[in-house]
Amino acid sequence: MSDQNPVFIPGPTNIPDRLRHAMNVQTSDHRAPNFVDLLAPLLDDLKKVFKTTTGTVITFPASGTGGWEAAITNTLSPGDKVLVARYGMFSHRWIDLCERHGLDVEVMECEWGTGAPAERFATRLAADTDHAVKAVLVTHNETATGVVSDIAAIRQAMDACAHPAMLYVDCVSSLGSMDFRMDEWGVDLAVSGSQKGFMLTTGMAIVGVSEKALAACETATCPRCFFDFRDMAGANAKGGYPYTPPIQLLFGLRESLDMLLGEGLENVYARHYRIAEGVRRAVAAWGMTLCAKTPDLYSDSVSAIYVPQGFDSTALTDFAFDEYGVSFGVGLGEMAGKAFRIGHLGSLTDVMALSGIAAIEMAMKDLGYPITLGSGVAAAQDYYRLTRKGATLKEAA
């Protein structure tokens, strides 16, 4: 029965029954004339989540990593210089992917727990008077450290020196959970996936592509076939796919969009903030600290939490799984053994979050952590109770 417990990892996330049922469909013909009735409205509604009216949304049967590869190979050529900051495991993996494709990768090393350094980007790009940098790569929500970066500030840094580089953003663990504004922030490539904010199984890369990025496909020479934007966009425009699509996932994505847009995106973001803040109150009550250095960097989809000196975070997450049947995120990269992660995105409520807080609290107490049992739960309860819909001013006081 332990598989009935929710997961508290930052993806894949819990799948609502409504979405599981939506994906439980028999095989249908993706070459049939009515396939366009599913595909075209779905792609239009995805644009609402990216907040773009001018961009194109392209999907591939893949994970977010496939989306990264598609973004790079469709718009750049071997030897092109890209500028990227490394401040967590996922920015690191994007760097590795670029290097494997023969790009000239200039890395700005940053302390883990900090975000994309807009000031350093501004200085570097202003000095690049011959415009050697072809693309700037930023991880919006660094899942390893629970840090969200200011994408608008990066775009402002680029615009301040009129730099023509394209802006690529990994929004895998933020899209559909936290506010993302592709057009307003001048994002050229926005890479996401089905398994986080969209609450589905892994298996679909979802990429927002600007008009500038689409035009770059004509001159880019990195090899691509399966991930060719032109093939996919051309087939989509005619109501189809260039190869077999993941039909069941498309039906699930249709239902996911109905859920997100039905709730209202601003309400979705507010729900994520509220649940995340309850988790943060619990962390403070335990006397622990987040990896994110300052409150403006706090992610609303995942919190990375340092364990006290002398304790092993991996032993904690293993114990929680073995003894209580609940999964929490392990520490990645520099955070391995030092921090664990609580994913609080996707299909989650405050009541579900309380169960996760209580479970990890029990595990910590069992392992001799210096905490008071119930302290984190009580702190989160107070916050959720007083911020619930219908809470009175007297209660809040």
Q: Which of 300, 303, 307, 286 is nearest to 379 (CA)?
A: 286
* 213/236 Cα distance (integer angstroms): 17
Report the percentage of the chain scoring pLDDT > 70: 98
- The answer to whether residue 370 scores a pLDDT higher than 70 is yes
Q: H or E segment at 340?
A: strand 339-343
> For residue range 57-77, what is the model confidence (pLDDT) as tens digits?
999 999 999 999 999 999 999
pLDDT band at 330 (very low <50, low <70, confident <90, very high): very high
- 17-261: what fold? Aspartate Aminotransferase; domain 2 (3.40.640)
Q: Judge whether 97 and 69 are in contact, CB under 8 Å.
A: yes
Q: What is the pTM of this model?
A: 0.95
- Residues forming beta bridges with residue 148, ordered by sequence position: 141
- The CATH superfamily of 265-396 is Aspartate Aminotransferase, domain 1 (3.90.1150.10)
232 CB-near residues (< 8 Å, 6+ apart) = 58, 59, 60, 241, 242
Q: What is the pLDDT of residue 4?
A: 82
> For residue range 198-213, what is the model confidence (pLDDT) as tens digits?
999 999 999 999 999 9
Q: Which spans in the chain are helix H? A: 17-23, 35-50, 64-75, 89-100, 118-127, 151-160, 211-216, 229-237, 247-263, 265-286, 313-324, 350-366, 375-387, 393-396
Q: What is the pLDDT of residue 392?
A: 58
Q: Which of 348, 316, 334, 344 is nearest to 144 (CA)?
A: 334
| Three-class SS state of 218 | coil
Q: What is the pLDDT of residue 2?
A: 55
Q: Judge whether 306 and 339 are in contact, CB under 8 Å.
A: yes
Q: H or E segment at 85?
A: strand 81-86
Long-range contacts of 326-331 (CB under 8 A, 24+ apart): 326/5, 326/6, 326/7, 326/8, 326/356, 326/359, 326/360, 327/7, 327/8, 327/9, 328/8, 328/9, 328/356, 328/360, 329/8, 329/9, 329/10, 329/302, 329/304, 331/144, 331/304
Average pLDDT score over residue span 386-392? 81
- The answer to whether residue 156 scores a pLDDT higher than 70 is yes
Q: H or E segment at 139?
A: strand 133-139
Average pLDDT score over residue span 282-307? 98
| DSSP class of 73 | H
- The answer to whether residue 342 scores a pLDDT higher than 90 is yes
71 CB-near residues (< 8 Å, 6+ apart) = 168, 189, 191, 207, 213
Q: Judge whether 71 and 217 are in contact, CB under 8 Å.
A: no
Q: Residue ranges of the domains in the chain? A: 17-261, 265-396
> For residue range 350-361, what is the model confidence (pLDDT) as tens digits?
999 999 999 999
In angstroms, the first-to-last Cα distance of the chain is 41
> For residue range 120-135, what is the model confidence (pLDDT) as tens digits?
999 999 999 999 999 9
- The answer to whether residue 311 scores a pLDDT higher than 80 is yes
- The answer to whether residue 274 scores a pLDDT higher than 60 is yes
Comparing 17-261 with 265-396, is the CATH topology the same? no
Q: What is the pLDDT of residue 393?
A: 45
Structure tokens at 137: 């790569």
- The answer to whether residue 396 scores a pLDDT higher than 50 is no
Q: Tell me whether residue 79 is exposed, middle or buried, using C-beta atoms within 10 angstroms of its C-beta: 0 to 12, 13 to 18, 19 or more.
A: exposed
Q: In Å, what is the CA distance from 356 to each residue of 287, 288, 303, 341, 360?
A: 18, 16, 13, 11, 6
Query: Rounded to an integer, what is the distance from CA 38 to the centroid of its chain?
Result: 25
> For residue range 172-205, what is the model confidence (pLDDT) as tens digits?
999 999 999 999 999 999 999 999 999 999 999 9
Q: In Å, what is the CA distance from 9 to each residue of 49, 316, 342, 344, 347?
A: 22, 14, 6, 8, 12
DSSP secondary structure string, 232-249?
A: HHHHHHTTS-SS---HHH
- The answer to whether residue 397 scores a pLDDT higher than 50 is no
- The answer to whether residue 390 scores a pLDDT higher than 80 is no
pLDDT mean across residues, the chain: 96
